[in-house]
Amino acid sequence: MNATPALNLAPLLDVQGVCKSFRKPDGDQLVVLEQVNLKLRPGEIVGLLGRSGSGKSTLLRQIAGLDTPTSGVVNYLGHPVLAPASGIAMVFQGFALFPWLTVLENVQLGLEAQGVAEDEMRKRSLQAIDLIGLDGFESAYPRELSGGMRQRVGFARALVVHPNILLMDEPFSALDVLTAETLRGDFLNLWGEGQLPIKAVLLVTHNIEEAVQMCDRLMIFSINPGRVIGEISVDLPQPRHAQDPRVRALIDRVYVEMTARPRGEVRTGPKERFPGTGIGTVLTHVSSNVLTGLIEAVSAPPYNGKADLPVIAEEQHLEVDELFPAAEALQLLRLAEVEGGDIRLTDAGLEFARGETDERKKLFARHLITYVPLAAHVRRVLDERASHTAPRSRFFDELEDYMAEDAAEQTLRTIVSWGRYAEAFAYDDHAQVFSLENPA
């Protein structure tokens, strides 16, 4: 077992043409995951990188046997995975520890389920606990531990069953930055020294830096639908420091890949640079605070209107999950353009940055009504009605023809929030009614 991938070995895992879709109320299919192919070989750490909604967690659950693909197949050692398999263990984002079991009992759980003899079970559990640095905490309950220690229990519990494949579902995202860093480092050390009883790792993350630091290979996912849009091999030696220029260059490359248009999409003129076609566009909720913050940051020196996304992400402490939707929202509102890992403010964006609160709101309102079809639609309906009010359900039902229920929820929430900021229309959550009048 070592950290260098052996490409000639037979894959442990072979994902072939996996799709996942749901049936919408109107009978159409909503595609979450489209034609994903993936091979995992012994000695590899492979990262699945993408924003939330890209279906990467769904894929991980299919590999774990917790979910079944609509079509395609997940082969583990040549057998299709239809139920949780013994050689595949998982580490969860929220730890998923049983609060009523001690650390030792939590770790033993998987062995107990396999019917391992008592002595053997204890020996192996204590080994795993030692290995992962939990010695002395055997009798503690999860609630007595800090987040980092809890996730160590999560790791020990997964490792103790000696799985061939370790699945990690954003294992560090619920931890603070420092703790996450320590735990990542410890894990990589153990992996590099060949001390872990596992053959390969599949890591789901939305943290680009983490992905570049940990993985030998990255699969980049798009959203709507979730699809692999790029693959990057990472051939840098461990440990990889964030300040290392080669690491920085790779991070930049990932940003470029992630902001690239999906293959096959033809660009004809400047108009097509902006996404969003009709009222059926799913809007990810981004607070107006974040939008203003981003515009201000990009307009200010040293960027003066054009900035590198990874740089601005670091400076603004924005996770990929916040940065990309924010950049996309600005693009939708024609306040900025995003391409090749860069963000560039439009003239309107620069004007916004210069303006006072009132001017900003007016500009935002103008762009909202002009470029966001749903906002224009809401405004038109309110203007046309004699009462100047409309129930939320009116728009919700309409949106549901285009998207899933929770996407419709989110889209409406976004439109309400932007509409309120722009003072374009008001919304009363208690009565669930849109109206034109703002409370004085």
Partner 1 sequence: MRLERLPIAVLRTRYVPGGWDVLAFLLVFAFFVYCAQAAHGLTGSLSRLEAIPISLDPSALFGYSARTALRMLIAMVASLLFTFTYATLAAKSHRAEIILVPLLDFLQSVPILTFSITILFFLQLTPGRVAGAELASIFLIFTSQAWNMAFSFYHSLRSIPDELIEAARNFQLNPWMRFWRLEVPFAMPALIWNMMMSMSGGWFFVTVSEAISVGHTTVTLPGVGSYIALAIEQKNLGAIGWAIAAMLIVILAFDQLLFRPLIASADWFRLEQEAGFTASHTWALTMMRRSRLLRFMASGFHAMLRAGIKPVAVWGAAPPRPPSLWRSRQLDYLWYAVLILIGLAALWKTTLFVLGEVRPAEIGQVLLYGLFTLIRVAVLIALASLIWVPIGVWVGLRPRVASIAQPIAQFMAAFPANLFFPFVFSAIVLFKLSPDIWLSPLMILGTQWYILFNVIVGASAIAPDLRYASENLGVHGWLWWRRVALPAVFPFYVTGAITASGGSWNASIVAEVASWGNETLTAHGLGAYISQATGAGDFQRSVLGTVVLSLFVVVLNRTFWRPLYARAERKFRIS
Where does this chain bind partner 1 (CB under 8 A)? 61, 64-66, 76-77, 79-90, 92-102, 104-105, 109-110, 112-115, 118, 122, 126, 135-136, 138-139, 141, 143, 157, 161, 430
Closest CA to 226 of 366, 391, 55: 55
Q: Are strands 306-308 and 342-345 parallel, antiparallel or unpaired?
A: antiparallel
Under 8 Å CB-to-CB from 239, ≥6 apart: which residues?
185, 188
Q: Which is nearer to partner 1, 122 or 377 (CB)?
A: 122
CB of 122 to partner 1, least distance (A): 6
Q: Which is nearer to partner 1, 70 or 316 (CB)?
A: 70
Which H helix or E strand runs over 253? helix 245-259
Q: Which is nearer to partner 1, 109 or 229 (CB)?
A: 109
Closest CA to 177 of 213, 133, 141: 213
Cα–chain center distance at 407: 15
Q: Which is nearer to partner 1, 153 or 218 (CB)?
A: 153
CB of 127 to partner 1, least distance (A): 12
Closest CA to 251 of 310, 299, 196, 293: 310
**Amino acid at the residue 389:** T
Q: Which is nearer to partner 1, 67 or 181 (CB)?
A: 67
CB of 32 to partner 1, least distance (A): 16
CB of 65 to partner 1, least distance (A): 6
CB of 201 to partner 1, least distance (A): 15
Omega cis (within 30) before 302: yes
CB 222 within 8 A of CB 260: no
CB of 76 to partner 1, least distance (A): 5
The angle that helices 118-131 and 103-113 make with each other, rounded to 10 degrees, is: 130
Q: Which is nearer to partner 1, 126 or 312 (CB)?
A: 126
CB of 162 to partner 1, least distance (A): 11
Handedness of CA 155, 157, 161, 167 (dihedral sign): negative
CB 95 within 8 A of CB 115: no
CB of 129 to partner 1, least distance (A): 9
CB of 392 to partner 1, least distance (A): 13
Helices (DSSP H) in 285-427: which residue ranges?
288-299, 309-315, 320-332, 347-354, 357-371, 373-384, 392-400, 405-422
Q: Which is nearer to partner 1, 127 or 435 (CB)?
A: 127
Q: Which is nearer to partner 1, 206 or 217 (CB)?
A: 206
CA angle, 379 as apex, 375 and 380 as ends, to 5°? 115
Q: Which is nearer to partner 1, 86 or 304 (CB)?
A: 86
**Amino acid at the residue 344:** R
